[in-house]
């Protein structure tokens, strides 16, 4: 059985803590690898390695840093199929879905290739008598990312690509559930020409996370995961003077107006609700039809579509979705379904009994569909993170608007309508960070910024886009005056431009 260590100083190294975790193959339920879990000493060694390498990297001009990103893109395309197969086998998502995971990460790498332009400062000539003012962006030093299991390629690239392009060294702590792809990406960065020590991958659990938070040489940390952990990391980072961008859970709503194209809406809900077995922070988990007629039409079309979902292995190209990531995740989702039944919701489709022939020990579950869910139920208030869609019936538009606006989470939301005025009003008023209009998963493209509100996001700056450059750099402003023609004599009042 293979053992996955850490990637430090440009190569894979064995762990020394003596602690390991199992890496499962979700479609069979078997343990396929052991991953080393780092101690605080191992994390410290990675940070020291990164700190030593960062000085020269930070002084490398942005165009040369961009060339390495371009070479990395070329190498990732070369290994695209191999990376997708590895990702699918560790995570459980299908290979086509795994390729989407990789592609959305590579799009942020493409954005980071524009770093010579993105890091340009500002310049004002003649801001005062003989005075010029200009600003420059400089790297922070060593920064870190703590990334989740559900996007083991995309989220690490969202973090390390802009950070490294800005001249920082990066320490990545990926999920211990599917660490293979982050390790492979680090190796590709070295092959692309990245100096050793600039990208380090340290596998681990809470001990490694706390080591990141306590290390004085780590100047910023980015996190994606559950909301309680996001808040914990944000608060701990603040206590130690680190910048932090921490993204948590979600409960994404889809509002279905009476004039919506119902066939297109159902297609959108099926893909966004059940793709990747619902293990997406941007999955649609709540459908809100407006009016009884709309709700009845929706359920009439949804039920047979959910019943017809094809669950298969991760490597089955015809599967709609594959297994969940671990048995613990599977049992957690099943427990939520039982909670929904006890709370009085109508379980219109029950996928808990699904068994995959020949893969009976895999972590499979069919799609579940609840109707008549109310906002006081746990299955509405809490993130389930599985193939479960809840229908909450709204009497009118204002009630539908209030549901996502009042919810504790505020990651993404969508509205399905043919009415431009309703869509415009909804986009302006809804209290959620990312909005889709007839788009079920409104993840912005790489040169816009990604981030939720309320308990879905902690911190002032979001992921990728211009915010990522601001997050991973500090701005220095220079006010310059040369002595030629300057009046002599001391000035005791504060300088002004009057």
To which residue do tokens 């959305």 refer?
A: 104
Among candidate residues 380, 383, 381, the one with its CA nearest the CA of residue 391: 380
Distance CA 415, CA 400 (A): 10
Distance CA 126, CA 325 (A): 60
Tell me, yes or no, if 246 is annotated catalytic: no
Q: What angle do CA 94, 223, 231 make, to 5 degrees?
A: 120
Distances, alpha carbon 81 to alpha carbons 104, 188, 275, in Å:
15, 14, 20
Instruction: Output helix, strand, coil percentages for the chain, rounded to the nearest 5.
Output: 40, 25, 40
In terms of DSSP H, where are the helices of 192-223?
A: 206-214
Residue 133 φ/ψ region, left for φ over 0, alpha for ψ in the -120 to 50 degree band, beta for the rest: beta
| Cβ burial, residue 357 (10 Å; 0-12/13-18/19+) | exposed
Distance CA 317, CA 23 (A): 23
The full DSSP string for 128-174 is ETTEEEEEEEEE-SEEEEE--SS-TTHHHHHHHHHHHHTT-EEEEE-
168, 195 in Cβ contact below 8 A?
no
Q: Is the dihedral of CA 302, 307, 309, 314 positive or negative?
A: positive
Among candidate residues 104, 128, 93, 54, the one with its CA nearest the CA of residue 312: 93
Q: Which two three-digit tokens encode residue 187?
A: 């190796």
Among candidate residues 450, 100, 438, the one with its CA nearest the CA of residue 269: 438
Cα-only R_g, the chain: 25
Task: Residue count of the chain, please give it.
Answer: 498
Distance CA 7, CA 13 (A): 6
End-to-end Cα distance, the chain:
73
User: 3-state class of 400 per DSSP?
Assistant: helix
**Residue 127 DSSP code:** E
Among candidate residues 441, 426, 482, the one with its CA nearest the CA of residue 255: 426
Q: Catalytic pick from 113, 246, 281, 368?
A: 281
Q: Which residues are catalytic?
A: 281
């Amino acid at each position: 059985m293979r053992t996955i260590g850490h990637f430090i100083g440009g190569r894979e190294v064995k762990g020394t803590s003596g602690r390991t975790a199992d890496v499962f193959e979700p479609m069979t339920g078997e343990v396929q690898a052991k991953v080393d879990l780092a101690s605080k000493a191992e994390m410290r060694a990675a940070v020291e390695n990164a700190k030593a390498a960062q000085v020269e990297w930070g002084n490398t001009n942005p165009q040369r840093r961009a060339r390495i990103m371009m070479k990395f893109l070329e190498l990732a395309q070369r290994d695209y199929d191999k990376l997708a197969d590895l990702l699918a086998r560790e995570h459980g998502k299908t290979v086509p879905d795994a390729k989407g995971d990789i592609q959305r990460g590579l799009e942020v790498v493409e954005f980071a290739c524009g770093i010579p332009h993105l890091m340009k400062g500002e310049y004002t000539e003649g801001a005062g008598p003989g005075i010029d003012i200009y600003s420059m962006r400089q790297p922070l030093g060593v920064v870190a990312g703590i990334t989740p299991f559900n996007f083991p390629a995309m989220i690490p690239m969202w973090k390390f690509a802009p950070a490294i392009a800005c001249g920082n060294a990066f320490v990545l702590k990926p999920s211990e559930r599917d660490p293979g792809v982050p390790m492979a990406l680090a190796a590709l960065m070295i092959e692309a020409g990245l100096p050793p020590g600039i990208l380090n991958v340290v596998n681990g659990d809470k001990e490694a996370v706390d080591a990141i938070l306590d290390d004085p040489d780590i100047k910023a940390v980015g996190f994606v995961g559950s909301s309680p952990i996001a808040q914990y990391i944000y608060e701990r980072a603040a206590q130690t003077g680190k910048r932090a961008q921490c993204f948590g859970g979600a409960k994404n709503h889809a509002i279905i107006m009476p004039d919506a194209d119902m066939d297109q809406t159902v297609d959108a809900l099926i893909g966004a609700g059940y793709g990747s077995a619902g293990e997406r922070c941007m999955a649609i988990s709540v459908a809100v039809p407006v009016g009884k007629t709309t709700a009845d039409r929706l359920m009439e079309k949804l039920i047979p579509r959910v019943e017809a979902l094809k669950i298969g292995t991760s490597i089955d190209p015809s599967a709609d979705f594959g297994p969940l990531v671990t048995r613990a995740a599977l049992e957690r989702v099943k427990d939520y379904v039982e909670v929904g039944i006890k709370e009085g919701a109508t379980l219109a489709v029950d996928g808990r009994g699904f068994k995959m022939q020949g893969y009976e020990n895999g972590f499979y579950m069919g799609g579940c569909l609840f109707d008549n869910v109310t906002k006081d139920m746990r299955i509405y208030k809490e993130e389930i993170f599985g193939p479960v869609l809840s229908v909450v019936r709204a009497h009118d538009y204002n009630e539908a608007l209030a549901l996502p606006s009042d919810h504790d989470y505020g990651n993404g939301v969508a509205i399905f309508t043919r009415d431009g005025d309703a869509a415009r009003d909804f986009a302006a008023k809804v209290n959620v960070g990312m909005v889709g209009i007839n788009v079920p998963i409104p993840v912005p493209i790489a040169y816009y910024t990604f981030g939720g509100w309320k308990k879905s996001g902690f911190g002032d700056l979001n992921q990728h886009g211009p915010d990522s450059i601001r997050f991973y750099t500090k701005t220095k402003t220079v006010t310059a005056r040369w002595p030629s023609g300057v009046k002599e004599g001391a000035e005791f009042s504060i300088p002004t431009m009057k």
